[in-house]
């Protein structure tokens, strides 16, 4: 009997709806389900509803947390009870159910549920809006220990720094163009730090960084990295030339094979006059060795 009565009630309800064209429910529309706000700004949670009932709606807004937090509950625009301290003087409810939240805080970030019900309606209108709250980004600047370096210097770090800004991402530019994916340029996981592992003359350029977040982006002032060229002799020695130098000296000394006997002056008679000859010969050998070494160094300097 109970089931039969329930079925009759449902059929009667459907017949009323079909005959009159009225739906006993609150129909809600949400134009924008994602709102991006800034700290200190405001957020307008815009909703619209329709109902055939002339009664005022009961409007309830909640913030989803582990346990949902009721922000406001009202009959029409009249707020029921006293809002929580953190929302006092920051909320305004409109007749169509829209909520205005002033003076945004980072803690306001989250998902908001809205319910609109009317006594004569069978079904409640429900909807969800997500709010993100971020700090505006202050102008970034690039920090590095020195703006001038010698070529072949290692691990030169450029730091894209800024005071304010949340949920930030970073982009680097060299000479006004996006940084190329070169193996010598290494970015930190958050891309805030740029490390040049080995500096070349081509790295002498203008550098800048752009910081972005959901509410804006801003680019640093450009900074000049000056790269000075190393001497050719340094390049030779730093790239293995020191071993060549040692080899040349060793080979030359072995070829000429001057011995300790050459160090002691030897005298010969020339027309009955004693003359020192060994020191002169030794000087010639040393001079020739030095000339050969310098010749090879100059040759390598020209190549580099």
**Domain residues of the chain, as ranges?**
24-134, 141-228, 232-303
Q: Is residue 193's pLDDT more than 90?
A: yes
Q: List residues bridging with 267 in a β-sheet.
A: 276
Q: What is the pLDDT of residue 6?
A: 40
Q: Is residue 150's pLDDT more than 70?
A: yes
Contact, 140 vs 158, CB < 8 A?
no
Please, which pLDDT band fits residue 54 given cuts at 50, 70 and 90? confident
Q: What is the distance between the alpha carbons of residues 146 and 153, in angstroms, rounded to a whole number?
A: 12
Question: Does the fold of domain 141-228 match that of domain 24-134?
Answer: yes
Query: Shortest CA distance to 167 belongs to which of 208, 131, 209, 137?
Result: 137
Position with higher pLDDT, 267 vs 128? 128
Q: Is residue 100's pLDDT more than 70?
A: yes
Q: What is the pLDDT of residue 120?
A: 67
How does strand 78-79 pair with strand 69-75?
antiparallel
In order, the DSSP letters of 115-170 are EEE-TT-SB-EEEEEEEEEEPPPPPPEEE-S-SEEETT-EEEEEEEE-SS-SS-EE
Cβ contacts of 189 within 8 Å, gap of 6 or more: none
Query: Which CATH topology does 141-228 take?
Result: Immunoglobulin-like (2.60.40)
Q: What is the pLDDT of residue 22?
A: 53
Strands annotated E in 152-237: 154-161, 169-174, 177-178, 185-187, 193-198, 205-213, 216-219, 223-228
Q: List residues bridging with 130 in a β-sheet.
A: 34, 111
Q: What is the pLDDT of residue 208?
A: 98
3-state secondary structure of 258: coil
Q: What is the pTM of this model?
A: 0.66
Q: What is the pLDDT of residue 77?
A: 94
Please, which pLDDT band fits residue 182 given cuts at 50, 70 and 90? confident
Q: What is the pLDDT of residue 160?
A: 98
How does strand 125-134 pair with strand 58-63?
unpaired
| φ and ψ of 18, to 5 deg | -70, -35
Q: What is the pLDDT of residue 121?
A: 64
Quote the CATH superfamily of domain 24-134: Immunoglobulins (2.60.40.10)
Query: Shortest CA distance to 58 belongs to which of 41, 46, 76?
Result: 76
Q: What is the pLDDT of residue 17?
A: 41
Contact, 62 vs 81, CB < 8 A?
no
Cβ contacts of 254 within 8 Å, gap of 6 or more: none
């Amino acid at each position: 009997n109970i089931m039969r009565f329930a079925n009759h009630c449902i059929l009667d309800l459907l017949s009323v709806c079909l005959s009159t064209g009225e739906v006993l429910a609150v129909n809600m529309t949400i134009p924008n389900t994602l709102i991006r706000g800034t700290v200190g700004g405001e957020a307008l949670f815009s909703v619209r509803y329709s109902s055939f009932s002339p009664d005022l709606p009961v409007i309830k807004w909640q913030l989803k947390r582990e346990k949902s937090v009721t922000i406001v509950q009202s009959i029409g625009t009249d707020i029921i009870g006293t809002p929580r301290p953190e929302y006092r003087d920051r909320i305004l409810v409109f007749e169509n159910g829209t909520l205005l939240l002033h003076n945004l805080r980072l803690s306001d970030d989250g998902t908001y549920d809205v319910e609109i019900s009317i006594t004569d309606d069978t079904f409640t209108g429900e909807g969800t809006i997500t709010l993100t709250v971020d700090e505006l980004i202050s102008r970034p600047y690039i920090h590095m220990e020195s703006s001038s370096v010698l070529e072949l210097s290692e691990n030169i770090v450029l730091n894209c720094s800024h005071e304010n800004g949340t949920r930030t991402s970073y982009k680097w530019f060299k000479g006004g163009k996006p940084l190329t994916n070169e193996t010598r340029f290494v970015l930190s996981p958050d891309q805030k730090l740029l490390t040049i592992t080995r500096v070349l003359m081509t790295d002498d350029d203008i550098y800048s960084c752009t910081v972005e977040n959901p509410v804006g982006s801003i680019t640093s002032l450009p900074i000049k990295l000056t790269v000075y060229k190393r001497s050719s002799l340094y390049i030779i020695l730093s790239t293995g030339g020191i071993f060549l130098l040692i080899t040349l000296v060793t080979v030359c000394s072995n070829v000429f094979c001057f011995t300790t006997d050459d160090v002691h002056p030897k005298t010969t008679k020339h027309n009955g006059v004693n003359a020192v000859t060994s020191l002169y010969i030794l000087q010639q050998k040393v001079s020739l060795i030095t000339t050969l070494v310098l010749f090879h160094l100059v040759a390598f300097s020209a190549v580099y």
